[in-house]
Amino acid sequence: MRRRLLGRMVPLALALAAGGASAPALASKCEAGTIFNPITKVRWNCIFPITIGGVRVGSFDKLDKALDAQSASKPLCACRKGANFRFGVKVSFWSPNRMIDVVTEPGCMMALGADLLPTGGRLQGSQSSIADGTNSQKLFAQMHYYISPVWKMLDMFTDLPCTQDDGFDVAMITEILPTWQSGTLGAIIQPEGILFGNPAAGLACMADSAAAAAGKVIDPFFWCMGSWGATYPVAGDIPFGDSVEAWAGLAARGTFMMGRLGALTISSADGCSFKPQPIWTKSRYKLQIMEPVKGGKCVNIGRPGALWSSGKHAPGKDNAQFMSFEKVICCAGVSTP
């Protein structure tokens, strides 16, 4: 079924791209040296702080203090599953379990170090001017979303009941999504985006941007990504002045899209289970850039590029790869019949 679906959607996406408005091509070569290595590419200090029974372990960036204030406040917990009960202490930490490519070369699977979807020059990334008289620009790129449970890959923390036990997989490639190639098509499928294209919603995003600069995230403003732009339209076009910031914006938008597709979950506040997340909780995620230059820290959704993106854009390399860290809250303890 999946192969038949891909077979139908790829030609459709290619046809839409061929018939759309042309823009200057910006396609970076798909390099072979980007194969994912969890030991060398992951910035491991991003898992901190770890909170165990209300006691915080490890240091954290001052700008991340507000982000980590959501750590479990009640030290003890109890969970029930059927006739079984589990009593223990709450543990919270940042888990690296998703990877995101933002590529100008269609089909460039950076985690695999290979180009798996030759498109004959179509669907390539681009930079173009926005026709609104402001001399601003927009970037277009494709997004690949991977399930990458690093803890399981390294055989670590497998005894914790709240670590996800998924295997490595490619969950989404936007080359097969016509809606990613066109914001107009995306508005048809997700018409609620029209509600946030008004001045009031724009002013709210200004407040979200100011909060993101201080390391805070305003979860109710789910249509905003701080200084990275807006989540709508859910497409590959994003305004930009800083390429690295624009890459991060598309990576965050990809996470939001996975929630709208019903493929996003987060751990519950009591630490007992995972629950679906059709609308993301932004404060549960932070990103670390791995390619083209490994980042020195993780950043909250929307943090201005001026605070972290310097030196992250290697000349001639316009494909980026991010590790997404998710805040996990877990009830770790013993089970009783």
Domain boundaries, the chain: 38-336
Categorize the per-residue pLDDT at 26 as very low, low, confident or very high, splitting at 50, 70 and 90. low
Q: What is the DSSP letter of 255?
A: H
The 10s digit of each residue's pLDDT in 62-115 is 656 655 655 556 788 888 887 788 888 888 889 999 999 999 988 899 988 888
Total-model pTM: 0.86
Q: Which tens digits make up the pLDDT trace of 264-283?
A: 998 888 888 888 999 999 99
Q: In this structure, are residues 249 and 229 in contact, taking their beta carbons and an 8 Å threshold?
A: yes
For the chain, give the percent of residues with pLDDT over 70.
Answer: 80
Q: How far apart are CA 278 and CA 95, in angstroms?
A: 20
What confidence score (pLDDT) does residue 6 get? 41
Cα(285)–Cα(238) distance, rounded to whole angstroms? 20
Lowest-pLDDT range, 72-86, 156-170, 189-203, 307-321?
156-170
End-to-end CA distance of the chain: 41
Burial of 148 (0-12, 13-18, 19+ CB in 10 A): buried
pLDDT tops 90 at residue 287: yes
Long-range contacts of 122-126 (CB under 8 A, 24+ apart): 122/14, 122/17, 122/18, 123/13, 123/14, 123/17, 123/175, 123/181, 124/25, 124/26, 124/27, 125/25, 125/26, 125/27, 125/28, 125/318, 126/23, 126/24, 126/25, 126/26
Question: pLDDT at residue 294 above 90?
Answer: yes
**Residue 326 near residue 70 (C-beta atoms within 8 A):** no
For the chain, state the CA radius of gyration.
20
**What's the average model confidence in pLDDT over 47-62?**
77
